Structure 1
């Protein structure tokens, strides 16, 4: 089994046991630092996409648990000899995640207005 690429915890620069609040705080800090509207277009869109994917995965408890399980399995697989491939039933269909939709942020609306 190959390790999930990239490590979303490293992307957000947080420890693996980070709380939901720490995840959100790290995401907001990275977006403030690298967003093209703020950073004068210095950020690479692919890096921002990666930050958004990491946040989308780690903020949802179910997706985070699945991702952590995949990380654990990949780490355990690195220390064991290669096993023979498993047969996957034909009726098992793996769905790809839909692409993230990026929309403008409307700072003028919210509880502070």
Structure 2
């Protein structure tokens, strides 16, 4: 009985997590979900009600991290990426607040 409860709880947890991920992805694409609608990101243009192309989203993520893959297959974030600049700025803000 405990095993059945654990299995159903895990399944419910997994379903809830999957639903949250799908909602976030759809919200990022400007698609309304049962929990409510969302607006597309600033600067985003799309024709009609067609969702954004997944390849375009992947390209945006890759451009933000300016990542590369080494010969052993490990992915790395580029040192001159927008992400690195954002992290550096946040660290500087935190250091200035703690004085």
TM-score range, shorter chain: under 0.3
Greater gyration radius: 2
**What is the TM-score when the length of structure 2 is the normalising length?**
0.26
- Higher RCO structure (Cα 8 Å, ≥6 apart): 1
Structure richer in helix, relative to its length: 2
Structure richer in strand, relative to its length: 2
**What is the TM-score when the length of structure 1 is the normalising length?**
0.24
